Amino acid sequence: MDLRNNRITVREILANPKAKAIFYRESPVPINHPMIVKYQNLPLSTVLMYAKRYVPQRKINALMEELRSI
């Protein structure tokens, strides 16, 4: 999957069934949660900035690699 230098939006990621499955598997927040719906237009770079506060970098790296391999 082309993450476009982390400028791809959450909405675009979730439009891909394989990426959506990864997100569903890894996210502590359900995909239909209002927070996810509200922030679907955020770029991945912004999401990563916030995620780094709560998710270990090694897990983020593994997730990013998995998304890139789609």
Q: pLDDT tens digits, residue range 17-63?
A: 999 999 889 887 777 778 788 889 999 999 999 889 988 999 999 99
Tokens for 48? 């990563």
- Based on the structure, what is the number of domains in the chain? 1
- In angstroms, the CA 21 to CA 70 distance is 11
Give me the pLDDT at residue 62, please.
95
pTM: 0.84
Residue type, 44: L
Instruction: Tell me if 50 sits within 8 A of 59, measured CB to CB.
Output: no
Start-to-end CA span in the chain (Å): 5
> What residues make up the domain containing 64?
4-68
- Considering only residues 68 and 37, tell me which one the structure prediction assigns the higher pLDDT: 68
| Axis crossing angle, helix 57-68 with helix 17-26, rounded to the nearest 10 | 160
Instruction: Tell me if 44 sits within 8 A of 63, measured CB to CB.
Output: no
